[in-house]
Amino acid sequence: MNIAANPMVEASQTIYLKDYQKPSFLVDAVELDIQVYADYTQVGATLKMQRQTAGDLVLLGRDLELKSIILNGTELSESDYQLDSEQLRIANAPDQVTLETIVIIHPESNTQLEGLYQASSDLFVTQNEPEGFRKITFYPDRPDVLSVFTTRVEADKKYPVLLANGNLLETGEAGEGRHYAIWQDPTKKPSYLFACVIGDLAVMKDHYVTSEGRNVALEIYAEEKDIPKCKIAMQALKHSMRWDEEHYGLPYDLDNYMIVATSAFNMGAMENKGLNIFNTSCVLADEEYTTDAAIMRVQSVIAHEYFHNWTGNRITCRDWFQLCLKEGLTVFRDQSFSEDLQSAAVQRIDDVAVLKAHQFPEDSGPLSHPPRPDHFVEINNFYTATVYEKGAEINRMMSTLLGKEKFRKGSDEYFRRHDGQAVTVEDWVNALSAGSGVDLSNFLTWYNQPGTPKLEVQGEYDAAAQVYRLNLKQSLKSNAKYPNLKALPIPVALALFNAETGEQYILQSEALVENSVKDGVYLFDQAQASIEFSGITAHPVVSLLRNFSAPVNLEFNYSNDELAFLMQHETNGFNQWQATQTLLERILLEEHAADTYLQAMKNTVPALIEKDPLLASRIFDVPSEGYLGSRIDQNYQPEKIQQQRNALLDTLARELGAFCKETYLSLDPDMQQDFSQAMGVRALKNIMLALMARQGDAKAFELAQQQYHTTRNMSERLGVLRVLVWNDAPQAKAALEDFYTRFKDEALALDQWFMVQASHPKATAETIQALTAHPDYDLGTPNRIRSVSGGLNSNPVNTWSFGVQHFIDLAKYLDEKNPIVGSRLLQVLSRWYTLAEPQRNQVQAALLNLQSVVKSKNVVETLNSMLEV
């Protein structure tokens, strides 16, 4: 008997994009027989394979106990193959192979939540992307091997639900209180999209008729008590199906679509063909238990995983270096969907805020990599903000440049050419170019280079000639690993406003790209360029990168008054917001006076609240301490940033004075026209109350307590709970106790209870210690871990003091138990080298110490990169 065990790394092995080779064998069909028992699971696999190129037959497998192996009818003995902890290799295999294997695996003790694992006493699920399938059976577990899967699942009848991808062919008795189900997925797919589910779950059912007239059964599986919380997800699913038909001409292709919710999940959700598996946090949504932000997230994740059916599943990735092909495109698609759900400007604001808070820092630090990396040790470490968010931005830039119609022609061409294939980023850009008739090949540079470009722009106004000139320059920080950085194609969407009248000029310039976007767009693709606008009758104020048309750091020498002008006159909601953020960054990082900002807020806010409460709520955004810290490359002192930011908030609160209370009292979310506006009003009320509390207004606590007890809405309840807890109000303790009693059986709401306390600005090591010692804290549930560590990390002063040990200890523990999550959490410390001494040294010592004890590829690779600065 052979045991292919020991998941730990022997020698860290780097994989390179340039070494890609086609698999020697393809799999035409695979039959799986999965028999789940209490203390083991037996997996039988029959693979029908055909040789494609010369070479050994290689099957990948990890932690598998091999019971038997039969090749074309003959049982193999140990001398017929080579087996190590990663693969099973057969030399001189014939061209046609039928391979039958039986292995034993242990889902009941799988804490890594990868492969087949027991998620709770009532549930077994799979997570196979990117390389989990090799923990279920021996297989060429790589995305360019596509096959038809037939799956038999057998288990005790205490698990009534037996699911796998595709159509249900048969169910029956298996003796001894057991039963089985056989499923077949007619569409060829890579192994990472395989899923099965064994459990005791309730289901919400609905159906959807596609544009082609196919009647699709829709099912969402969750715990019985959570079924009423599946309504929003079900609506979002139907909405997504319609949206993809209307915007991309893509109808659904199977007769059923199933979603299964589990609380034991490393990520948000997974797009397994016809059988998505979701973290409960990304399915369950109900005003009473879920904040508005979380409800929006549920809808976008449902859309995201649904959209993968075409961008990811029908057309998949050739290898994992191409990950951003499916993720970048699908994120761009889900962002576009969400822009149609709520205010497009606010959706864009929220997406750019995430980009700037996560991707920009990642790209300026030791974990920087191109959206399409050229090497990795552990692919799980590359599901990053750069692959996802910057990947989405590249697609958005191409779409901005082409306009709706041409972009659609391009995407049509992609689906026409590549349906059923495993392809590369080049295939996507080529199809988009061919279909649209516009050569986009220089956008490949964006996929292949790391770093956020700096875009420096200067404006010159010639009053006599009535000409306005812009001089542009782009640059990238030099990078030892990528010595030959090229200029990037940067679409610059812009507008000019008449500084005297506030009116927008109609742009006249030959430099502008012609397309269906109504803004002027200039494609800046050289290291330097100048463009001119004629007919500019009075001094203009320029608004650049409208809607954030490119993921770059813009430097333009605005006066504070010009930024205040844009806060009031810019008609692009995103750039209106951006002007406030730019002004605030100057105040907080460059010690400008706050008066221009305060006056502009007073001028802008009252009318905006009437017009668009959701956008108004975002205009109150003040860059977080974490974001501000990420703009500092050396001598970073978190306390200093905290002081500056608190001082600004105090001034804002004082200046707005009675306005906060009046606004709080006059706003009523129940009187709003739609969800988007109600959401805005709830956000505004919470902001007003927080500002009142800053003014030391005791009435704020009374109002908070009142709102806490009268509302049934989670955004309203949590918003005021934060005000009470973070300000140490006398009412805080009772409110926390009430919240706990009310929601102790609602895991996601309880996560919020942990989070509110962990994110207290004055949390201490003892606060965190008490939370992690609480009986409801659970290191086996990533959501619960993140509620505490994420809360803690919302205050960098805390993260960089006692928080360091918290993250180090977590990484140490998870290195063995759940390295995927361990590696991600450790990344919180990746900007350690920017700290001022003595903190810098202390954190470095702690990381070096950690380096000597961790073993998983995931944590080792992340830590090595982090220390390589």
Under rule CB under 6 A, residue 269 binds ligand BES = yes
Separation of alpha carbons 303 and 414, rounded Å:
20
Q: Residue 343 in 3-state DSSP?
A: coil
Which DSSP string corresponds to 548-607? --SS-EEEE---HHHHHHHHHH--SHHHHHHHHHHHHHHHHHH---SHHHHHHHHHHHHH
CB of 327 to Zn ion, least distance (A): 5
Side by side, the strands of the sheet bearing 520-524 are: 512-513, 520-524, 490-498, 540-544
Under rule CB under 6 A, residue 273 binds ligand BES = no
Which range, of 97-105, 264-272, 286-294, 338-346, touches ligand BES by CB under 6 A? 264-272
Question: Quick one: which of 4, 153, 196, 270 contacts ligand BES (CB under 6 A)?
Answer: 270
Residue 705 vs 858, nearer CB to ligand BES: 858
Residue 222 vs 703, nearer CB to ligand BES: 222
Which DSSP string corresponds to 797-849? HHHTTTHHHHHHHHHHHHHHH-HHHHHHHHGGGTTGGGBPTTHHHHHHHHHHH
Side by side, the strands of the sheet bearing 467-475 are: 528-534, 467-475, 454-462, 553-556
161 binds, among Zn ion, ligand BES, none (CB under 5 to 8 A by kind): none
Per-residue x/- mask for Zn ion, residues 571 to 610, rule CB under 5 A?
Answer: ----------------------------------------
Under rule CB under 6 A, residue 348 binds ligand BES = no
Under rule CB under 6 A, residue 691 binds ligand BES = no
Secondary structure string (H, E, C) spanning 248-282: HCCCCCCCEEEEEEECCCCCCEECCCCEEEEEHHH
Residues 6+ apart with CB under 8 A from 11: none
Which range, of 105-113, 197-205, 326-334, 542-550, touches ligand BES by CB under 6 A? 326-334
Residue 63 vs 129, nearer CB to Zn ion: 129
Residue 387 vs 495, nearer CB to ligand BES: 387
Per-residue x/- mask for Zn ion, residues 287 to 326, rule CB under 5 A?
Answer: ----------------------------------------
Q: How many Å separate Cα 51 from the centre of its chain?
A: 38
CB of 127 to ligand BES, least distance (A): 7
CB of 259 to ligand BES, least distance (A): 13
Under rule CB under 6 A, residue 327 binds ligand BES = yes
Q: Measure Cα distances from 449 to 242, 478, 729 in Å.
A: 36, 11, 50
Question: Is residue 639 among the annotated active site residues?
Answer: no
CB of 425 to Zn ion, least distance (A): 16
DSSP annotation of 646 = H
Under rule CB under 6 A, residue 690 binds ligand BES = no
Q: Which of residues 495-534 bind Zn ion (CB under 5 A)?
A: none
Residue 327 vs 427, nearer CB to Zn ion: 327
Separation of alpha carbons 152 and 331, rounded Å:
33
Which range, of 243-251, 267-275, 284-292, 839-847, touches ligand BES by CB under 6 A? 267-275
- From the list 346, 476, 836, the residue with the least C-alpha distance to 640 is 836
Residue 292 vs 327, nearer CB to ligand BES: 327
Tell me the residue number closest to ligand BES, measured at CB: 268
Separation of alpha carbons 827 and 807, rounded Å:
9
Contacts of the segment 171-179: beta carbons below 8 A, 24+ positions apart: 178/154, 179/154, 179/155
CB of 301 to ligand BES, least distance (A): 4
Residue 223 vs 327, nearer CB to Zn ion: 327
CB of 305 to Zn ion, least distance (A): 7
DSSP annotation of 386 = I
Under rule CB under 6 A, residue 267 binds ligand BES = yes
Which range, of 304-312, 355-363, 409-417, 540-548, touches ligand BES by CB under 6 A? 304-312
Under rule CB under 6 A, residue 129 binds ligand BES = yes
**List of E strands, 357-429:** 375-376, 422-423
197 binds, among Zn ion, ligand BES, none (CB under 5 to 8 A by kind): none
Annotated catalytic residue within 131, 223, 305, 393: 305
Per the CB < 8 A criterion, the answer to whether 32 and 152 are in contact is yes
**Cα torsion angle, 723, 725, 726, 730, sign:** positive
Per the CB < 8 A criterion, the answer to whether 191 and 27 are in contact is no
Specify the DSSP element, H or E, that contains 151: strand 147-156
Question: Quick one: which of 186, 268, 780, 790 contacts ligand BES (CB under 6 A)?
Answer: 268
Query: How many chain residues touch ligand BES (CB under 6 A)?
Result: 17
Give the CA diameter of the chain.
94
Per-residue x/- mask for ligand BES, residues 374 to 403, rule CB under 6 A?
Answer: ---------x----x---------------
**List of E strands, 424-466:** 454-462
Q: How many Å separate Cα 242 from the centre of its chain?
A: 23
131 binds, among Zn ion, ligand BES, none (CB under 5 to 8 A by kind): none
Q: Measure Cα distances from 728 to 54, 131, 761, 788 in Å.
A: 70, 47, 10, 19
342 binds, among ligand BES, Zn ion, none (CB under 5 to 8 A by kind): none
Q: How far apart are the first and last CA of the chain?
A: 46
Per the CB < 8 A criterion, the answer to whether 1 and 66 are in contact is yes
CB of 232 to ligand BES, least distance (A): 15
Which range, of 145-153, 265-273, 505-513, 516-524, touches ligand BES by CB under 6 A? 265-273
Under rule CB under 6 A, residue 552 binds ligand BES = no
Question: Quick one: which of 271, 350, 716, 861 contacts ligand BES (CB under 6 A)?
Answer: 271
Per the CB < 8 A criterion, the answer to whether 190 and 316 are in contact is yes
Specify the DSSP element, H or E, that contains 331: helix 323-341
Residue 142 vs 304, nearer CB to ligand BES: 304
Q: How many other CB atoms are found less than 10 A from the CB of residue 498?
A: 16
Residue 44 vs 268, nearer CB to ligand BES: 268
Separation of alpha carbons 676 and 219, rounded Å:
27
CB of 550 to ligand BES, least distance (A): 21
Residue 330 vs 582, nearer CB to Zn ion: 330
Separation of alpha carbons 729 and 700, rounded Å:
10
Q: Measure Cα distances from 96 to 27, 69, 643 in Å.
A: 10, 16, 70
Q: Which of residues 323-352 bind Zn ion (CB under 5 A)?
A: 327, 330
Which range, of 33-41, 298-306, 521-529, 843-851, touches ligand BES by CB under 6 A? 298-306
DSSP annotation of 389 = I
740 binds, among Zn ion, ligand BES, none (CB under 5 to 8 A by kind): none
CB of 481 to ligand BES, least distance (A): 24
186 binds, among Zn ion, ligand BES, none (CB under 5 to 8 A by kind): none
CB of 129 to ligand BES, least distance (A): 4
Separation of alpha carbons 302 and 231, rounded Å:
12
269 binds, among Zn ion, ligand BES, none (CB under 5 to 8 A by kind): ligand BES
Question: Quick one: which of 308, 358, 369, 694 contacts ligand BES (CB under 6 A)?
Answer: 308
Is residue 107 reached through a cis peptide bond, with omega within 30 degrees of 0 on the bond before it? no
Q: How many other CB atoms are found less than 10 A from the CB of residue 851?
A: 14
Residue 9 vs 329, nearer CB to Zn ion: 329
Residue 131 vs 327, nearer CB to Zn ion: 327
Annotated catalytic residues are: 305
Write out the residues near Zn ion by the rule CB under 5 A: 327, 330
Write out the residues near ligand BES by the rule CB under 6 A: 129-130, 267-271, 300-301, 304-305, 308, 327, 331, 334, 383, 388
